[in-house]
């Protein structure tokens, strides 16, 4: 034991020595790390200052280059020549990687610039150069040297790169060089350029900087230490904080730790953040002076350990002597205490056992009866006495068979122990005789207990009267439910048989029950249907599977599904059926579904016949329309000949001064014109019905179109002393229209107005620009006459084909096609036309047209129309 204590103290002393030496080592190492950290921070400050100085130097040199180019242009009067400047600037050791001229041009200068460079202005999109879209200002590259892999293509629009447009505008406005960080290839470091203004003619100097040389040591001072050999320098700009703009080690991943130092500088229009990181995590090393201090401390601690061990040896000898004296005294005391404890424990165990047994008997909710080997009751607990209905004293010493008949035998040769042995170990039902001579059903458990020199039995009784009553109630409920199920089954069978519709009960797509209507509909017998699959009733297995996939998902959702399918009867006849189905219990799909079938083959055949009749009628209408278009076109050719010869005859009659003959020719010419107008209307109607009406939309002067129509109809109105007034707001109103078709509308409306207006009246034509409910520009075009007006019940029908107002019966005449053609033309212009009556007399025809629509009209300066066929 003493040797163990001595070893323990030695180990503790050695452990303490190691801990103290480790702490001293950590302090010394931390001191060295602090010095190394300060040294790296110094290198980081030098590297940051070096890079900032070089960037400012590049900006100053670029400013000098720009000034020299400006002076050269002013002195020679010629544009800057990069080929003369490049050899002096783009040297191998120079930090300039390229030099170019960027020109600022507007949209009106784009065509001339592209012709000058023999190339189009392009922009960078998804790493490919594509033609630049329309922009308010362009910044294309006019020239660039050297022409290597890093060169910017001629004509490339720098205004579409990141924030280049803003930086170039700043360089022009501030008249000082500006840095630009532009990413040409995603995932790489940005390209570093400097932009400088070359005057007010839009030319700018572009200088590309070589990032690798900016971050290297000076070639002229090779002996001067390079700070970037000790730290890694990373630069971010405030406009792209998610990726670095400059990195002294771009091929390596960004450091995850905190930088040694950070510095913010404003250089070239950018707020740059410089961060210095250690190149690698150096393992901490201790200096020789530190190792000397550690060695001296270790020697001192070893001497202290030796002195401690000598003191421990002396103390150990004293403890051995004292221990021997105490051992003898302790031995005597232990023997006496053991004798006293044995007696006390025996008495306590006996008392506790008796108290525990009494407590168990008294507190138990079950009736407990103690029985001796002869079958006499020796003790009952309060629960047993309460259950029997007698006091415990009156029950004790009675034979147990007088209370529990199952433990009594009429044969005196059979002992109680034999009866108990047969019942022992498993619960059984018995009848307990109570004080009111009532036999209570109980569950009895009999156990044998062995004690020293004797044994007895423990009987545990539990009242099961309530359980017996519940079992009887369950039996009665079961019988009642069976009767209800039988009644409902009979009711369902009666409902199936009485239903006039075919019904079936299907489980897992197999027929379980059908009614007589089902057998009649599908012409089958009951023994051919019950238990069979539904596949024979479908035309094919593919139809059977497709119908199941479409319907059974809806059935499982608890929905009533409906479907129309073709089904096959037992004789092979195919009929159209409407199926209505619902799951008995959607949560239990195995309970099956109920289906109803309705034959609607006759209705389906009628629908097919109507559909065929409709198709035939449409084909006949189309043939009629095509015939009408062809005949109208063929009739116009001889009609033009008739009109031509009529004009010749009218001219000859005037030469012969034969007034009667001239009057005949005039009537022939007037009737021919009316017939030609009718043919033109019929031809337009035919084109509308077959969808071949031609429109030529463009951005035209609507006022000019209206004035031409009014001038054309003025002679006809003058014959009846009718005046036509035109009002346009504004005076020149342009819109996306087909002037020929819109003139046709105006001639039809003016012709109707002249027909219905009395002699000497006024016809007003107004065109006004306004806004609709969606704040879009639209034109309101109105033609007002002074005629009798339109009957109220004909205001809508007069725009139908071959429909005339009842007013034409007064002698105005007409074919009923003019307004129908007008509505078609207005609708082709994305507009609407309607008629209204004026008070006290007259009518107004109003057309609402959008000023612009999506037919792709050209600008107002280009008068070439766009065409489409409707």
- For 239-277, the pLDDT digits (tens) are 777 788 888 787 778 887 788 788 888 888 888 888 888
Over residues 32-40, the mean pLDDT reads: 77
* Joined tokens for residue 449: 């207990």
Q: Which residue has the tokens 């179109």?
A: 705
Q: If 0-12 CB within 10 Å is exposed, 13-18 middle and 19+ buried, where does residue 721 land? A: exposed
Give the pLDDT confidence score for residue 626 in this predicted structure.
65
Over residues 380-384, the mean pLDDT reads: 84
Cβ contacts of 300-308, under 8 Å, gap ≥ 24: 301/17, 301/20, 301/21, 302/17, 304/13, 305/10, 305/13, 305/14, 305/17, 308/9, 308/13
Please tell me which residue, 302 or 817, carries the higher pLDDT value. 302
In order of their start, the domains of the chain are 47-278 (3.30.450.350), 364-463 (3.30.450.20), 499-599 (3.30.450.20), 600-692 (1.10.287), 694-869 (3.30.565.10)
- Measured between alpha carbons, how far is 254 from 232 in angstroms, rounded to an integer? 10
Over residues 343-354, the mean pLDDT reads: 73
Burial per residue of 462-481, b for 16 or more beta-carbon CB atoms within 10 angstroms, e otherwise = bbbeeeeeeeeeeeeeeeee
Q: If 0-12 CB within 10 Å is exposed, 13-18 middle and 19+ buried, where does residue 502 land? A: buried
Task: Name 635's Cβ contacts closer than 8 Å, sequence gap at least 6.
Answer: 679
Enumerate the β-bridge partners of residue 262.
275
- Measured between alpha carbons, how far is 525 from 647 in angstroms, rounded to an integer? 90
Task: Using pLDDT thresholds of 50, 70 and 90, give the confidence band for residue 809.
Answer: very low
Enumerate the β-bridge partners of residue 461.
367, 444
Q: Sign of the C-alpha dihedral, residues 114, 116, 118, 124? A: negative
DSSP assignment of 497-562: HH-SSEEEEEETTEEEEE-HHHHHHHT--HHHHTT-BSGGGBS-HHHHHHHHHHHHHHHHTTPPEE
Cβ atoms within 10 A of the Cβ of 420, count?
Answer: 19
- Measured between alpha carbons, how far is 27 from 46 in angstroms, rounded to an integer? 29
Cβ atoms within 10 A of the Cβ of 744, count?
Answer: 19
- Measured between alpha carbons, how far is 545 from 389 in angstroms, rounded to an integer? 74
- For 119-176, the pLDDT digits (tens) are 888 888 877 888 888 888 888 988 888 877 778 888 888 887 877 888 888 888 888 8
Please tell me which residue, 308 or 720, carries the higher pLDDT value. 720
- For 397-422, the pLDDT digits (tens) are 888 888 888 888 878 788 888 888 88
- For 687-708, the pLDDT digits (tens) are 666 566 778 888 899 899 999 8
- For 587-626, the pLDDT digits (tens) are 887 888 888 888 888 888 888 888 888 888 777 766 666 6
- For 624-663, the pLDDT digits (tens) are 666 665 665 566 667 666 767 777 777 777 777 777 777 7
Q: What is the mean pLDDT of the chain?
A: 79
The CA-based dihedral angle spanning residues 391, 395, 396, 402, taken in that order and rounded to the nearest 10 degrees: -170
């Amino acid at each position: 034991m003493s040797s163990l204590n001595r070893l323990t103290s030695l180990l503790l002393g050695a452990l303490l020595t190691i801990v103290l030496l480790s702490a001293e080592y950590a302090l010394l190492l931390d001191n060295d790390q602090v010095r190394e950290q300060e040294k790296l921070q110094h290198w980081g400050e030098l590297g940051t200052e070096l890079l900032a100085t070089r960037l400012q130097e590049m900006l100053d040199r670029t400013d000098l280059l720009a000034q020299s180019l400006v002076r050269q242009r002013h002195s020679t009067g010629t544009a800057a020549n990069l080929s003369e400047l490049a050899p002096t600037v783009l040297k191998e050791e120079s930090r300039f990687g390229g030099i170019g001229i960027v020109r600022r041009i507007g949209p009106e200068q784009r065509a001339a610039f592209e012709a000058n460079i023999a190339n189009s202005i392009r922009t960078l999109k998804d790493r490919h150069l594509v033609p630049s879209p329309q922009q308010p200002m362009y910044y294309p590259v006019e020239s660039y040297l050297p022409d290597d892999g890093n060169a910017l293509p001629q004509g490339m629009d720098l205004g579409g790169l990141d924030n280049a447009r803003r930086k170039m505008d700043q360089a022009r406005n501030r008249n000082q060089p500006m840095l630009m960080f532009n990413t040409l290839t995603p995932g790489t470091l940005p390209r570093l350029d400097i932009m400088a203004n070359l005057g007010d003619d839009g030319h700018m100097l572009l200088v590309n900087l070589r990032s690798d040389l900016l971050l290297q040591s000076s070639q002229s001072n090779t002996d001067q230490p390079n700070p970037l050999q000790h730290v890694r320098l990373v630069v971010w700009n405030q406009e792209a904080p998610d990726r670095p703009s400059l990195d002294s080690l771009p091929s390596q991943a960004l450091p995850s730790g905190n930088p040694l130092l950070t510095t913010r500088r404003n250089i070239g229009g950018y707020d740059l953040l410089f961060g210095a990181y250690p190149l690698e995590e150096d393992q901490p090393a201790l200096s020789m002076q530190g190792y000397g201090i550690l060695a001296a401390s270790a020697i001192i601690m070893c001497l202290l350990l030796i002195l401690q061990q000598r003191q421990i040896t002396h103390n150990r000898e004293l403890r051995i002597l004292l221990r021997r004296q105490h051992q003898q005294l302790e031995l005597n005391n232990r023997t006496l205490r053991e004798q006293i404890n044995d007696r006390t424990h025996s008495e306590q165990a006996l008392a506790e056992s008796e108290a525990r047994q009494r407590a168990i008997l008294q507190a138990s909710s079950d009736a407990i009866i103690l029985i001796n080997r002869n079958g006499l009751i020796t003790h009952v607990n309060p629960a047993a006495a309460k259950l029997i209905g007698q006091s415990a004293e009156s029950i004790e010493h009675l034979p147990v068979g007088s209370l529990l008949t199952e433990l009594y035998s009429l044969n005196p040769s059979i002992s109680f122990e034999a009866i108990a042995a047969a019942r022992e170990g498993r619960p059984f039902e018995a009848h307990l005789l109570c004080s009111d001579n009532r036999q209570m059903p109980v569950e009895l458990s009999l156990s044998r207990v062995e004690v020293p020199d004797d044994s007895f039995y423990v009987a545990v009784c539990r009242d099961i009267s309530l359980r017996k009553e519940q079992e009887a109630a369950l039996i009665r409920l079961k019988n009642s439910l069976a009767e209800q199920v039988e009644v409902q089954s009979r009711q369902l069978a009666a409902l199936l048989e009485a239903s006039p519709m075919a019904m079936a009960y299907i489980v897992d797509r197999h027929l379980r029950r059908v009614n007589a209507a089902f057998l009649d509909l599908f012409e089958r017998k009951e023994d051919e249907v019950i238990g069979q699959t539904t596949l024979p009733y479908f035309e094919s297995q593919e139809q059977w599977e497709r119908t199941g996939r479409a319907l059974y998902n809806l059935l499982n959702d608890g929905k009533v599904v409906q479907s129309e399918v073709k089904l096959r009867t037992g004789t092979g006849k195919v009929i159209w059926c409407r199926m209505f189905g619902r799951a008995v219990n959607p949560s239990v799909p195995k309970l099956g579904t109920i289906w109803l079938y309705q034959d609607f083959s006759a209705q389906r055949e009628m629908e097919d016949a109507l559909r065929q009749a409709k198709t035939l009628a449409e084909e006949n209408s189309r043939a009629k329309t095509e015939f009408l278009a062809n005949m109208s076109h063929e009739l116009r050719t001889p009609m033009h000949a008739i009109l031509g010869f009529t004009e010749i005859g009218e001219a000859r009659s005037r030469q012969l001064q034969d007034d009667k003959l001239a009057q005949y020719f005039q009537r022939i010419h007037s009737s021919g014109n009316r017939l030609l107008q009718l043919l033109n209307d019929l031809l337009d109607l035919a084109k509308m019905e077959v969808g071949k009406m031609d429109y030529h939309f463009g951005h035209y002067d609507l006022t000019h179109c209206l004035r031409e129509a009014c001038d054309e109809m003025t002679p006809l109105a003058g014959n009846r002393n009718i005046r036509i007034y035109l009002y346009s707001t504004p005076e020149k109103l342009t819109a996306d229209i087909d002037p020929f078709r819109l003139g046709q509308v105006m001639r039809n409306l003016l012709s109707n107005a002249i027909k219905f207006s009395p002699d000497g009246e006024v016809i007003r034509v107004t065109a006004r620009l306004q806004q609709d409910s969606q704040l879009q520009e639209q034109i309101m075009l109105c033609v007002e006459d002074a005629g009798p007006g339109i009957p109220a019940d004909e205001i809508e029908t007069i725009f139908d084909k071959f429909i005339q107002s009842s007013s034409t019966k007064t002698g105005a005449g007409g074919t009923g096609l003019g307004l129908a053609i007008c509505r078609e033309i207005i609708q082709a212009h994305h507009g609407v036309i309607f008629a209204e009556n004026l008070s006290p007399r007259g009518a107004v025809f109003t057309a609402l047209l959008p000023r612009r629509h999506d037919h792709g009209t050209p600008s107002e300066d280009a008068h070439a129309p766009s065409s489409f066929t409707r």
